Structure 1
Amino acid sequence: MKSIVTLLFILTFSLGFAQDKKETPKTKIVEASCGQCQFGMKSKSGCDLAVRMDGKSYFVEGTKLDDHGDAHAADGFCSAIRKAEVSGEIVNDKYVATSFKLLPQEQKK
């Protein structure tokens, strides 16, 4: 009987520990820009942040174009395609970002 109680205690502790462990979202490097100006997306009007991964473009939810500087500057999203490190998932043909970090531009040599 004592061994059964001990076994149940160990199993309960192990299961509780496994549930507390959360997976870290995987990040990936993607192209980021204005969906309309640079990626030719036409399902929305105006200028909206989008990412392109595996050859397909998705509008982004969770962050906005102007959260990352002046979109119309020389290096802004309406003028250039930039690299970003992102995590999130595709939901209903949109990229729902849980993190979005714009990477520094590579210097031209």
Structure 2
Amino acid sequence: MKGKDCELAVRIDGKSYFVDGKGIDDFGDAHGKHGFCNAIGKAEVTGEIVNNRFKAKTITLLPEKKD
């Protein structure tokens, strides 16, 4: 996604939305090896889509699956 900087985003039903209410650094170092500027993770989210942005209430990261 194109944005101003490294911005937190979610993909819901195949469509991507920038997130309001939570920041990319809320989940650790955004520029670290597994940070969200460099990696994609899975999460359970609650909130609503307003004006093409996701207004997050909660974001809970799910553990990475081991191969």
Q: Which has the larger radius of gyration?
A: 1
Gaps of 5+ in 2: none
Equivalent-residue separation in structure 2 for 1:49 and 1:98 (angstroms):
14
Give the structure with the larger strand fraction: 2
Higher helix share: 1
Secondary structure of residue in 1 paired with 2:42: strand
What SS is found at the alignment partner of 1:67? helix
TM-score after normalising by structure 2: 0.91
TM-score, normalised to structure 1, is 0.58
Unaligned runs of 5+ in 1: 1-40
| Deviations, residues 17-50 of structure 1 (Å, cap 9, x unaligned) | xxxxxxxxxxxxxxxxxxxxxxxx22x3111000
**2: distance between equivalents of 1:74 and 1:46?**
17
Q: Which amino acid aligns with 2:12?
A: M
1:103 is matched by which residue type in structure 2?
Answer: L
Q: Which residue identity does 2:17 align to in structure 1? A: Y
Residue type of the partner of 1:91? V
After TM superposition, the runs of 4+ consecutive aligned structure 1 residues lying more than 6 A away are: none
Q: CA RMSD in A?
A: 1.0
Q: Is 1:101 aligned to 2:57, yes or no?
A: no
